[in-house]
Amino acid sequence: MTATSPDKPLLRALQGETPSVPPIWLMRQAGRYLPEYRELRAQAGSFLDLCFTPDFATEVTLQPIRRYGLDGAILFSDILVIPYALGQPLWFEQGVGPKLEALDGPDALDRVLDPARLHEVLAPVYTTLRRVTAELPPDVTMLGFAGAPWTVATYMVEGGTSKDFATVKRWAFGDPDSFQRLIDQLVDSTSRYLNAQIEAGAEAVQIFDTWAGSLPAAAQERWCVDPIRRIVAAVKAEHPNTPVIAFPKGAGPLYTRYAAQTGADGLSVDASLPLDWIRTQLQGTVTVQGNLDPQQLVVGGPGMRAAIRDICAQLGNGPFIFNLGHGVVPQTPPEHVAELVATVRGETTT
């Protein structure tokens, strides 16, 4: 499938056009802040069952589209399905988040990871994509996604989330050749996964590098920028017309290198970046996507509306997609999301 439909505002923005009204979707737009999601989550059992049962995952993906009429539907899944598909045990603990049996060094790469399993384990994800695509309104873009190699590697090596990434950094800095093997494996698996998502119906894909900002500049070049460049090239080799968005959260001024070096069509910008800097340093090269602080969405009201209008005023005269600087948080009142959408579309007056 190629991203060429002229009647989809989000695709037009990713192709460099400037729609009169910015298209909008939200990271984590399907999730715990929605009562309909919580009800379905209780039925599913485990979080992995929710992700890998197409009936559930399809419904969750469509819930925010039905409620808010957003311009993009993003596949409901998780960035850690790749290590799970490769054979690394993964589970989710209530109130803690994802947990994995941590890779304990280079020897674990051959002992634990089996690339031949990838598509077999992830087949339900592709089924979900086909089902969602069949049910979407004709003007809504289907988005696939994956985690970037560095971010996924942090979870694989640390065994979950981390405050300082000490274990994974010691491996990357102390034995870069063996760590490169892990990154190479993730580049290959992520490329194959994204291409399969596109073949199943995804019209654009986003690569989430949530922990890019945890690395110093030189290391970020090697472990973040270059892997994303290789993934984009692999996707474009098979699907040259499918846009790719990169999200190197926390990358700061290195965002310019992602724009110049990765080949991504779009950059999702976090809330720390000044709007005038985004406009002058990035928007002339790529479509920009962002960047309301998720906590402003929690608070809502006049302050949120003013921030939304400022973002649209500063970025809306070029290729631009409205989004958050990170994902919707569970404390978000659903009515604030409706207010956000109405404000972006000029349907509110105060």
Catalytic positions, written as ranges: 28, 32, 41, 78, 155
Rounded to 5 degrees, what angle do the CA atoms 152, 117, 99 make? 35
The rounded distance, in Å, linking the Cα atoms of 229 and 262 is: 4
The rounded distance, in Å, linking the Cα atoms of 14 and 339 is: 25
The rounded distance, in Å, linking the Cα atoms of 193 and 343 is: 36
Residue from 217, 210, 213, 113 nearest 155 by CA? 210
